[in-house]
Structures are given as structure tokens and as C-alpha cells.
Amino acid sequence: MSAPSPAPSPAAASPAPGPVIELRHASFGYGERAVVTDVSLAVNPGDVLAILGSNGSGKSTVVKGVLGLAQQFTGEVDLFGMPRADFHDHPRIGYVPQRHTLSSTVRSTVREVVGTGRLSRQPWWGRTTGADRAAVERAIDLVGLSDRSSVDVADLSGGQQRRVLIARALAGEPDVLLMDEPTAGVDAVNQHVLADVLRRLVEHGLTIVVVTHELAAFEDLVTRVVVIDAGQVRFDGDRATFERTSTSVLHDHNHHHHDDELEDPDGGSVVPVTIEVPRSAHDASGRTHG
């Protein structure tokens, strides 16, 4: 086998070239507090979109809102042209959560962790097929960990664990990849490796949304930039425009290197906008385990 065939099926899978993800006047938050308000955003096939913002600005909340992990108060979220409530083709969206390390309460090999990303493509009664195994190996190969697929993830470095998380998202062969702070807390060497991985994914035609507070690592990959500040979209445009106007748009995020701070959607520097909403059954859906 020479080059691994692309794990993610490119945009060709969706015949209608409409936006992959579309937000219209959406507000997301946790509990009763909206963290981001009135976000309108369309991610088109082939976009490599960076969502920039300082810690606590609500950029992660946008991604979590798209995935249904944060509460949605107002507006609409369309995924592949379908309202989110009707969308059940979950494997088409790959999510790389913000994690500094993988939970290592029990032994898990890289292959086992990545394999969980394939589950959404398997019926619950079904057994793992050869195609599933091949997809998992391809995903591990794409992030450059094929020499370590049988290693306990707890023995990997932080940057390698991030790549395991990316591989897990790729194992489901998604059309779009949502990444939350993939470079936070990763040293320069590993950021470089991560950027190489992303470059490979872009070459495969994957649509990528990267939430980050520093653009430097992906500068040459990103085609479009969205800046979120204080829960609102402050800028949305291509990279060239962004670079021209960056001084006025960005306050401090380029000088912000609090890599080790976990972004706390409930706290942070932003005063959350409280709006009146009825409590819904999914009230606590945003509060996951710590």
C-alpha cells in the first residue's frame, strides 16, 4: 500500500454544495446563561476556518453549540442543510475536544481509543468489520502514529495524545472536522507536527474548523478567519483581509499565551449575557464530567 487512501470522504459525498454548517442568529450557553449571542456563520465545503478569540470569549461554546454539547437558546443551526434536531448522520462531523490529556483511568491502546471514533459508523449489535479496522489504521496513519498504535495512550506525550484525539475523530470518516484548541499546551515541536497533520487533512479535502487563540501554528493553512470576542462575532473574512485589519480587530490574542489555562465557559473574563429562556429538559447537557 502506498499512500493511504483518504480517510475522510471529501465534499463529493454531499451533492448539494451548500454550507456544511450554518448558524443563523444562534445563541449558545450553559445553564441559563448565554455565552455567545447572535452568531451567524456559514462553513462551506473545503473551508479551513479558524475561530479566534481570547480565553473565555466563547469560541469553544460555538463549536459545542454546533455539536449540541452546549445549550442553544435562540436561532437555528443547520448541519449539511438539515436542522440539527433532524440531523442523525453523526459520523459526518468529527469532533476533537479540548483535552490536555486523555483520561487514563484504565489501560487503553491508541488503537482502542481511535476505535471508539468508529463506533458511530457501526450498528450497536454489529461486530467490528475489516473495513472498520482499516479505517482505524488509516486514521492512525494519517496522524503519524502508526508506529505506536499498540502503545498505552498514557505513555504518549501531550502532543501525541492530541493526535490520538484527531485520529479518533477521523476514524468515523467525517466530512468536517471541528477542533477545539488542538495546540493549547503543546510545545513548538509538536505544534509543528500537528500542523503537518492538518496540512495532510486539508490536502484530502476535509473541511476544518479550528478553534484556537493563536493562529501562528496554522497560519498558512487557514483560508478564513472568524474572530469572536465577548460572545459576539467581531470579524468574518478571508485570511488576507484578516491580516490587513488584524490590528484593529484583535485586542490581545496574539500576545496571549496562557496555554495551560483551561478555558472556562462559565467563568472567564467575559460578562455573560443573560437572557430569559425557559428551562429545558437538556438543561445540564453542557455540564459534562470534569
- Residue matched to cell numbers 479550528: 210
The yes or no reply on residue 193 touching another protein (CB under 8 A) is yes
Binding part of the chain for another protein, among 40-48, 54-62, 114-122, 235-243 by CB under 8 A, reads 114-122
The answer to whether residue 284 forms part of the interface with another protein (CB under 8 A) is yes
Q: Which backbone phi and psi does 46 adopt, to 5 degrees?
A: 90, -5
User: Which one of residues 47, 141, 175, 214 is an interface residue with another protein (CB under 8 A)?
Assistant: 141
| List 59, 138, 239, 253, residue binding another protein (CB under 8 A) | 138
The answer for residues whose C-beta is within 8 angstroms of residue 66's C-beta and 6 or more apart is 21, 23, 77, 79, 84, 93, 178
Sheet holding 176-180, edge to edge: 93-96, 176-180, 207-212, 48-52, 224-229, 232-238
Q: Which range of residues in 12-20, 40-48, 124-132, 222-230 is near another protein by CB under 8 A?
A: 124-132
Backbone angles phi, psi at 248, to 5 degrees: -80, -30
Complex with another protein: residue 49 or 167, whichever CB lies closer: 167
Check residue 159 for interaction with another protein (CB under 8 A): yes
In whole angstroms, what is the distance from residue 202 CA to residue 191 CA?
Answer: 16
Site membership for another protein, residue 103 (CB under 8 A): yes
From 32, 38, 112, 259, residue interacting with another protein (rule: CB under 8 A): 112
Site membership for another protein, residue 167 (CB under 8 A): no
The smaller minimum CB distance to another protein, of residues 140 and 270, is found at 140
Nearer to another protein, 5 or 269 (CB): 5
| CB neighbour class for 63 (10 Å; exposed up to 12, middle 13-18, buried from 19) | buried
Closest to another protein by CB, 196 vs 219, is 196
Q: Report in angstroms how near the CB of residue 133 gets to another protein at its nearest.
A: 10
Nearest to 5 by CA among 169, 145, 176, 138: 138
2 binds another protein (CB under 8 A): yes
CA 254 vs CA 54, 209, 257: distances in Å:
9, 19, 8
The span from the CA of 138 to the CA of 120, in Å, is: 17
Give me the least distance between CB of 169 and another protein, in Å please: 8
* Grid coordinates of 225: 478567519
Judged by the rule CB under 8 A, the positions of this chain that interact with another protein are 1-4, 67-69, 88, 90-91, 93, 95, 97, 99, 102-103, 105-109, 111-113, 115-117, 119-120, 124-125, 128, 137-138, 140-141, 144-152, 155-157, 159-160, 168, 172, 189-190, 193, 196, 199-200, 203, 284-285, 287-289
